[in-house]
Structure 1
Amino acid sequence: MRTVLLLGGTSEARRLAESLAGRLRVVSSLAGRVRDPRLPPGEVRVGGFGGVEGFRAWLLANPVDAVVDATHPFAATMTATAAQVTAELGIPFVVLRRPGWVQQPGDDWRWVDSVSEAARSLPGERVFLTIGREELKEFAHLPQWFLVRSVDPPVGPVPDRTHVLLDRGPFTVDGEIALMRAHDVDVLVAKDSGGEMTAAKLTAARELALPVVIVRRPPLPDVPTVDSVAGVLRWLGTDVA
C-alpha cells in the first residue's frame, strides 16, 4: 500500500483523508495550532517539523511515496518548506488550494498584501477581525474597538478595546448579520481563505453595506497545484470517487 503524507488542518484535507481511507496509507500532519482539532481518519501526527532540516529528517526517517500539501492558504512557510525538501529528495508533491473568494456586485472590498497593511488601512472604528489569533499583535497599538473571533483564545498582545468571541464555523449569513449588528461593526477584516465555512461573513458585510479589508494570499511556489479533492485523487492516480 502506497504511503501519502498529507499536510492538513483544512476541511479539504479531512475530506481527502476520508476519500483515501482503505485505499492508501495516509499520514495526516497537523500543525497543532488549534487545541481541539477535528481529526481526520487514519494516522495523525501533531506539531511542526522544525523547519527545512526537520522536515528533511522526518521524510528520511519515514519514507513516503507522495506529499500532499492541503494546509491553509496562508501557511506559506510550510508550503515553501515542503516544496523545497520534496524537490531535493525527489518525492512527488502537489498543493491542494481551494479557490479564493470572488468579489460580487455590491461588495466593497479593500485589498491589501499583508495583515500589517490591513492594520494601517482600517476605514472604521468598530472592527470585526477574522484573521485568526496569531497576528493580532499587528492591531495591538490601535485605538479602535475590536471584535475578535477565533477558535482558541488569542496569543500575544491584543488591542486594549477587544471583545473575544470563541467560535468555529460553519457560520450562517443570518447569524453573521445579527452578530455584526449586535456589536455595531462598521468594518470587516478577513484573509482570502476561500471556502464555504466562513464565507457567510462576506455576504453579511455586503448586505449591511460594510467595507471589507481583505488580505491577499501569499504566492505559491512553482509546483503542481490543484483546487479540489478530486484533483488530488486524479494526481494520485486513484479510482476513489
Structure 2
Amino acid sequence: MWIDLANIDIKTLLDEQSILHSLQQQSFVEIGQRRKVPVWTGNEFKLRDPEHHVWFQSWMNDTPVNLYCQVASFTQPSHKANKVICDVIYDWVKRYKAQRLIEFGSGIGNLTFPALAGAESILACEIDDLSLQGLERSLNELPASLSHLKDRVTIYRGDFQKKLTQDFSQFDGVLANPPRSGLMGFLNPLQNLAPEQRPEFFIYMSCYPESMARDLVTLQECGYRMQEVFIVDQFPQTDHYEVLGLLQREKA
C-alpha cells in the first residue's frame, strides 16, 4: 500500500498509530513521494529509507524477470498486457539485429530486459535514482542462465529531456518510453546528425498519444517513417491506452 498525503496528514497518521498498525498487519506500507517505510520502534513510528522488493515482473523472451522497486514505482497495471508489450519490444529489437541500443526513460527496467534479450548492449538513461537502483539490483538478481547479460547494460542518470550528451551515431536503435511531456530535448542530438549517421530504427512507447504525436513530427523530419503500431488497452474502463510504434530511418 502506498499512502501519498500532505506532510501534515502524514504526521497525524504517524501520531495516531492505530491505523498504521492495522494497515501493516494486512500489507507492506510506503508513505509519501519519497516512498519511506514506517517502522514501529516500540514507542512511535519512524520513517526509514525506501526498500526495494519484487513488486513487478518483466520478460526476456519467454523467461520472467523479477523487477525490484517500490510500491510507488511506475509499473504497468496489467501483467497480461505487459507480457504483450515485452514480446513486441523483443521482436522488434531482434528483427533489426541491434548491436547497440540507447534507452530513454528506462525506469525500473520493464522494457530494458526484453530489449536486452535481442540486443548486444544497452545504455539505459533515467532521471529517477530509486528506479535505477532497482534496475541495478534486478540485473544483479537475474536467473543464472541470464546472469552473463548484466554486463551488457550501462546505467546513466540524468535529465535527458533537457540535455543529452550521448552521440546517437554510436547506436543502432533507440528505445523511448518518456513521461507524459514527451521526449522534448532528447531529440536535439539526433537532429544535429547527418541522415546516414542516425540510428536505423526508433521504438517509441507512450501512454499519452498527444505528446507522442508531436515527437513523431520531429522524427519524421529526421527521416523516420512508421512501420508498425500496437495499441494496448492497459487501462480498462478509461480513455487511456499504451501505444507502441516502430519507426525506421529511410535509406539514403
Which category describes the TM-score, using the shorter chain as reference length? Answer: 0.3 to 0.5
* TM-score (structure 1 length as normaliser): 0.41
* TM-score (structure 2 length as normaliser): 0.40
Bigger helix fraction: 2
